[in-house]
Amino acid sequence: MKSCLGKRVHYLRKKVGLTMDTLGQEIGRSDAHIHNIENTKSFSPKVRDVEKIADVLGTTIGYLLGVGDVSEASACDAAFIRKYKKMDAEGKEKVRKMCDIL
């Protein structure tokens, strides 16, 4: 039986087209570790691993854990804002220009 975390990691991983192996490599873990997260209800990954998974999958920890009333769309928005805040000034300016085009 899958946990909320496992179900959401599996769903988003498939949605973005990653294998367990690829996601594992992205966060510095094995595909077996990702398998355990996705498929073992009692498995408790480290918070840092969940943070890394959220970053790779473009979401938030809250969404992955099912905390609060966070929809997938609002979690994606929050992940975008988090990435935007980490950009340098040049990157932020490029994003602003792209938004002005829309």
CATH classification at residue 68: 1.10.260.40
In the chain, how many domains are there? 1
Which value, in Å, is the radius of gyration of the alpha carbons in the chain? 15
Structural domain that includes position 27 = 4-101
- % residues pLDDT > 70 (the chain): 97
> Cβ neighbours of residue 22 under 8 Å, at least 6 residues apart?
none
* CA–CA dist 90, 55 (Å, integer): 21
pLDDT value at position 33? 95
Q: Could you tell me the CA-to-CA distances from 98 to 91, 94, 95, 101, 102 in Å, in that order?
A: 11, 6, 5, 5, 7
12-25: per-residue pLDDT in tens?
999 999 999 999 99
Tell me: the pLDDT tens digits for 57-85?
A: 989 898 899 887 767 777 778 778 888 88
Q: How many CB atoms lie within 10 A of CB 94?
A: 11
* Confidence grade of residue 41 (pLDDT, cut at 50, 70, 90): confident
